[in-house]
Amino acid sequence: MQFTKVVIQAFSLLLSIPASAGLCTTSELDYFSCTTGSAEIALCGSVDVGPNQGYIQFRLSPREGAKVFFPEARRPPAGLFVKDFQLWSKGGYESTLTFQAGTLTYVLYANWLVGSTEAMNEDKDGLYGYHSGLRVSRGDEEFQDLECVPPGEVWTDPRHLDRVLPAFLKPADAPNR
């Protein structure tokens, strides 16, 4: 019963998801955008993007403080971003886009975690279901996880990042999906 209630709430939220957090211009592709409790996040790109042409740019606009752009200047994305897709053995999957800016590692993520019906019905902490956002770490220490509220446009499909981002962003040894 609780699981059914969560599914109904999820579909209700779907109807209220904004198309964009507003950081991409109308002439850009909006690969990912969402609002967190403290910031707007977007991944924008030119319509002519390729490994050595156009651009993909991460943008973070906190409610307080300076905006963050990566790369700072628009430039071809070859070598700047790596996308990945992981299937989890215990049920679920995650799409990610990773990049380094100085000593920080940024990971845009979208995932779906499933469990037994009993575990999902008793999930009071919101562990199961869809999640998306931005993780920031320095070395092995994750110090920030900005979760999208609701989980951005990937709410309907956590494979969104894997499907919409250009194939050339995958690591060379990654299988085609």
Domain boundaries, the chain: 2-165
Q: How confident is the model at residue 168 (pLDDT cuts 50, 70, 90)?
A: confident
Over 70: is that where the pLDDT of 149 sits?
yes
Query: Distance between CA atoms of 102 and 85, rounded to whole angstroms?
Result: 24
Q: Are 40 and 23 in contact (CB under 8 A)?
A: yes
The pLDDT value given to residue 43: 92
- When pLDDT is averaged across residues 133-146 and rounded to a whole number, the result is 90
pTM here is 0.74
Over 90: is that where the pLDDT of 172 sits?
no
Summarised one tens digit per residue, pLDDT across range 69-128 is 999 999 999 889 998 888 877 778 888 899 999 999 999 988 877 777 777 677 666 677
The pLDDT value given to residue 80: 92
Burial (Cβ within 10 Å: 0-12, 13-18, ≥19) of residue 117:
exposed
The token duo for 72 is: 């700072």
Percent pLDDT > 90 in the chain is 28
Summarised one tens digit per residue, pLDDT across range 30-44 is 888 888 888 999 999
For residue 109, the cross-strand partners are 96, 133
State the chain's mean pLDDT as an integer: 76
The pLDDT value given to residue 9: 33
- When pLDDT is averaged across residues 55-80 and rounded to a whole number, the result is 90
